[in-house]
Structures are given as structure tokens and as C-alpha cells.
Amino acid sequence: MVRYSCGRRFADCLLASVFLLGVFGIFATPALYAQALAAPSSSDQWDVSIAADNFQHIYVLYSQARASASGSIPAMTLVASDDAGKTWQPPRQLTPPTVAGQSSPEIVIDSADHRTVYASWLERHGQDVMLAKSVDFGQSWSVFIAARAATPAEKPALAVSGQNVFVGFSRGQKMWVASSHDGGITYSRSTLETGEALTGALAGDAAIDLQGNVYFAWAANVQSTSGDPRVNLYISKSPDSGKTWATKLMDSSGAPAGCTAQNCEWGYMGAQISVAADAAGTLYAFWNSGPAKQAARVYFSSSTTQGETWSTKIDVSSAPQGANHVLPTISAGTAGEVRIAWIDSRNSPDWSAYYRTSSNGGATWSKERMISHYALTSSFMPVDTFGFLFATQPVMAAVQDAEVNAGGV
């Protein structure tokens, strides 16, 4: 699963409501429902992440602005269900924030026991990359610092299997991974190298396959020989629990037209990549890319060789040419079961979220299903964060509605 943030400078993010969409049925025609997880009066939510275990628990973690003596401070807020989303516990603060607040949440389930919950986020203006662990279905948490530096980090990605915890993040124009082998208590740290000079990096997603190989999907700004900026999409692999890493270039995209006039960061409209592994160990990658300052498409590829080789990329959207595609996300379940989702502009001036499923590793796909449709409320994009997961529960998607007058649905 992958989550995307518009970045700290996108003011519209702070005017959002969190919703949960449940999609029942995998390959039959599904029914959809929507639930408001935060009261209409408590807007100012952003950066949402979602996870589900094998015991009917669903967790939604997001940043909620809270009043304090020093002003409004964003704090990690958790909403949980213990009956597969039929009912929800009241939102609660995960852990007290620092004066600078908390942002960029990521929440996952241990892929080994399918029940222990892990979360990661940023504190102290991004200087601290945090890790929290719960062994009692989110009722209590142990909190650790995975990485600390004087410069800010961006957007953690998280993968866990047993005692092995891996937190990826960007800092100082590099991609970093903090690796722990004692359940998140202590860490070693390493960088992911590409052999190129990077001018920016952004974590996308992380996965651990059946053999224990660790993968991080990420994007990086690079300067091409022509002088035009490009976004390279990488998947880095460690076969030895984070001791060494090898990085493969999956695709290269032109830089997007951008939205600096609306104060959003480069990663929001740019090329991004996600990765997932199914129960049989097959890897899947899903990303968006396109020519410079033109509409991007979404592409799918798979690997049965532990990421050493990949199938030829295929365009999996039926949107007409010229429709821009952003925020790709992917989840995998049992052998061959894959779900992909993205947002595109085919209904311009509106942006809509779509998903497709495959039961044979992406050889064939279901028809597209629109799971959300938003009126354009900011001047370039109405949705801040989009999360998608695959679990024993029904398919779930967490979507943030960035309406300027977000007062509920």
C-alpha cells in the first residue's frame, strides 16, 4: 500500500475531511459505501494512512490539527474498528506531539504475524523519524526514534516482518533506510545509491517478499544531460535485511507542469511508484510517468525473479489520451491477486479515483471501477492522500477530500 502527501507547503491540505470507502466483492460488481470517520466540525485533517489485520481490525491514522497554547499543532490521530469497519472507535491521539507537531503518517501490519501494528511519522519539523508499535490492537503504543538529524526528513515508508523493521525516508536529497532487527528498538541506517546526482527524493512504498527480501520504491529528481529536470523511478532491494542495497531504474518521467503557484511540492503532481508482494513472492510495481509537462499515464509491471527482471510495462488505464494520472497505489494478497488504484482527470475539471483487480498476477484485469468523484475545489487537485489495502476484510480505500470548505459529507 502506498500513501501520498501534498507536502507541508500545500495549505489546502489543512482543509480536509477523512472518509473510508469500503468496496465489497473482488471480481463481482461491488457495492460501495462511505463513512465519515471524523466529525464535520473537526476539519483540518490531512495525510491519511490505512491498514487492516487478519482479525477484523482496521486502522486509519492521520494528522489532525489540535488547539494548544502555542497555536494549532498537528497530532497523530487514530481511528480504529474491531469489526471490519461496521463500527468505529472515537478518534484518539496516538501519542502527545512535540511543539512542532506530527505529520506524514504511515501505518502497517506485521506481515509475519498479521496482527502487530506499526506506525511511523515525522516530528520536530521532520528532524525526527518516529516508530511506534502496538501488540494489543492499537490500544497502547511503544514509541521509538528511528532516525534523528538537524535537517528535515520527508514522508516515511514502512515495511515489517517479525522483528525486522525497515523505515525509508528522504533527507538531504538522498533516500535513507533505518533498519531494526529487534522490533524497532535500535536501528542502523544506510543510503540508497543510484550513481546519479539527485536534486530531490521521495519515498513511495515498501514491501517484504516471501524470501525475506526488502524492497523500497521511490522517486528522485535528477538533472538530465539536456538540462531539463526528470523524475526517475527506482526500486531498491536488500537481500540481507538491510545490510546492502541494489537499486534498479524502473522508468524515467519528465517533470510535471508543477503547481508552485498553489504552494504544493514537486512530488504531489509528479511521477511516483509503489510496490507490493503477494503471498507467493511475486512482486508488482505500479507507477505514473509521462513526457515533460504533459499528461502522465499509469503503468504496471511484475517480477517472478525477486526483482532481478521485470515484465514489460503496460498501460492499465482506459482513460483517453490527454487525461493526467497521479497517485498510483497497489496492494497484493494471495498468489496472483492484485489491486491497483489511481486518480485521473478524465472527468475534467473533476478528478476521480479508479481501481482495477486481477486474479492472475496482472495478465488480465477487471473493468475499471470509480470509487470517488470530487468537484474541483483547489486550483489543481482535489484529493490530498489516497490509501488502498488488501486484507481478509473487504477492500478498503482511505481518501481525503480537500474541499476548501470541508465540513463533512
Q: Is residue 336 part of a domain?
A: no
Q: pTM, whole model, 2 decimals?
A: 0.86
In a domain, 243, yes or no: yes
Report residue 375: phi and psi, to 5°: -70, 145
Cell of 383: 484529493
State the DSSP H helix or E strand holding residue 267, giving kind and residue range, or none if neither: helix 266-269
pLDDT confidence of residue 44: 67
Predicted confidence at residue 14, as pLDDT, reads 25
* Cβ count within 10 A of residue 66: 16
Q: Give the pLDDT score at 264.
A: 52
Residue 78 is assigned to a structural domain of this protein? yes
Within-domain flag for 108: yes
State the residue range of the domain holding 213.
11-267+379-401
322: left (phi over 0), alpha (psi -120 to 50) or beta: left
Where are the extended beta strands (E) located within 82-152? 92-93, 102-109, 117-123, 128-134, 142-148
pLDDT at 248: 97
Residue 15: the pLDDT is: 26
Interior CA angle at 291 toward 285 and 294, to 5°?
Answer: 110
Between CA 288 and CA 301 the distance in angstroms is: 12
pLDDT digits (tens, 9 = 90+) for 199-236: 889 999 999 999 999 999 999 988 766 667 789 999 99
pLDDT digits (tens, 9 = 90+) for 61-74: 998 887 666 667 88
What is the edge-to-edge ordering of all strands in the sheet holding 229-238?
Answer: 198-208, 214-223, 229-238, 246-254
Beta bridge partners of 58: 52, 81
CATH number of the structural domain spanning residue 24: 2.120.10.10
Kindly state whether residue 331 falls inside one of the protein's structural domains: no
CA dihedral 393, 394, 397, 401 (to 10 degrees): -110
- Is residue 395 a part of any domain in this protein? yes
369 occurs within a structural domain: no
Residue 81, all three cell numbers: 474498528
Quick one: pLDDT at residue 101? 83
- Rounded to whole angstroms, how far apart are CA atoms 146 and 178? 6
DSSP code of residue 91: P
Query: Which stretches of the chain drop beneath a pLDDT of 70?
Result: 1-44, 67-71, 224-227, 257-268, 374-409
Q: How many domains does the chain contain in total?
A: 1
Cis check for the bond before 97: say yes or no (omega within 30 of 0): no
Residue 241 belongs to a domain = yes
